[in-house]
Amino acid sequence: MTAQLLLWLAAAAAPPPDGLWAGRLAIYEGRALAPLRRVQEIVRAPVGLSLRRGRAVYDAQLDEEGFFVLRAPAGTYRLEAVGLGSRAELVPPQDVEVRPSELSCAGTLALSVQRLEYLGQGTLSRFTVVDDCARMLPFLRQRAGWPGPGKVHLPRAAPPEEEAPRVLTAADLLCGLRAEASTNGTELAFRGWYIYPILQTVGAPGAITIHGSLGRVTGPSAGFGGEFSVGPGVNVLGLVELAAVAGVRFGFDGFPTGPVGAVIVRPGFYGAGFDLRAQWTSAGPAVFVGVDLAPFFLVGAVL
């Protein structure tokens, strides 16, 4: 009786039997299917798929045609990205069900980008799940050497997880300080900027920011102007910042006072870049060219 009880307790405590999750990953450049080997040559990293449950991560085995097989204990997992070595292309989170002692067909996971070079940048991509298991399931069972049953269990959109409130540290806030010098050939401007992140962190692709500046502007005459401006900005692909600001100039010693507006295109990374500024004042439109530097961001990047 004691031996039977111990066997029953051992069986109850044993982990659930494993199941297989299998399907195909298809990456498209525009409307053309890209061979996995070419994708890996472009991104210079192996392409992979992983499922997560809590802290446990299970990696799928992919072949050259994109077919994958993953073995994991039965349960519900989360698919969040297509791995690209140390980077990843994020996809809308999907819940994936692994059934005990069963092969679950995931269908074709189709990831489309305009250009393969955009992979890993988290923008301009589209992810869909195609149910072609009726054709694929016998092939998956054969390739995986699976003698057991196989059924269709497509990934499904996962409910949003509760996000922890964002906490900006002192270092995050200091990274918003930036110094700029620019000129249009007639006027010379020195500005101090503060960039506050609304969505994501400063410098991240897709970050939405508020830009505020205080500056000193000098011209050919002896006077000078104090300038204040504020406006929204967005980071495009981590390579270009776009901002539109409006404000006012206060003139001293004959320098004109009046409103100021500008559209700024800033190529470069967040810590240092070029400023191309189309500006409008009471004196008319002007184009400024300049450079800027975010010293605290650069120090943090080095450390």
**Which residues of the chain does CATH 2.40.160 include?**
170-302
> Which pLDDT value is given to residue 14?
40
pLDDT tens for the chain, 303 residues long, are 444 433 333 333 344 578 899 999 999 998 899 999 999 999 899 999 999 988 889 999 889 899 999 999 989 999 999 999 888 888 999 999 999 989 999 999 999 998 888 888 766 789 999 999 999 888 888 888 888 788 899 999 888 665 556 666 777 778 888 999 999 888 898 999 898 888 877 777 778 889 889 888 888 877 888 899 999 998 887 778 899 999 998 888 888 888 999 999 998 777 888 899 999 988 889 999 999 988 887 776 665
**Domain 170-302, classified CATH 2.40.160, yes or no:** yes
Token readout for 190 is 């020195």
- Per-residue burial over 270-280, b if 16 or more Cβ lie within 10 Å, else e, is bbebebebebe
**Which residues of the chain does CATH 2.60.40.1120 include?**
17-157
> Which pLDDT value is given to residue 123?
67
Burial class of residue 159, CB neighbours in 10 A (0-12, 13-18, 19+)? exposed
**CATH architecture for segment(s) 17-157:** Sandwich (2.60)
> Which pLDDT value is given to residue 10?
34
CA 65: distance to chain centroid? 26
> Which pLDDT value is given to residue 78?
93
